[in-house]
Amino acid sequence: MNKNIQIFIPNLNNLLNSFYPNKFRVILILISGIFLIPLQQVKSEEIFLKCIGKYEINRGSLIKPDWETSYLRINLDGLISTIDDKGIRKEGRTLIRPNSYTITYRDDKNRVKKIFKINRNYGTYTVEFPQSSRTLIGTCQKGRG
129-145 pLDDT tens trace: 888 888 888 888 887 65
For 60, left (φ over 0), alpha (ψ -120 to 50), or beta?
left
Its CATH architecture, for the domain 46-142, is Beta Barrel (2.40)
The per-residue pLDDT for range 108-123, each reduced to its tens digit, is 888 999 898 999 888 8
Domains of the chain, by residue range, sit at 46-142
For 45-58, b/e burial (b = at least 16 CB within 10 A) is: eebebebebebeee
Q: What pLDDT, in 10s, does the model give residues 32-75?
A: 777 776 655 556 788 888 888 887 655 555 555 567 888 888 88
Geometric angle at alpha carbon 93, from 87 and 95, rounded to 5° = 120
pLDDT in tens, 84-108: 877 888 888 888 888 898 989 888 8
pLDDT, position 27 = 77
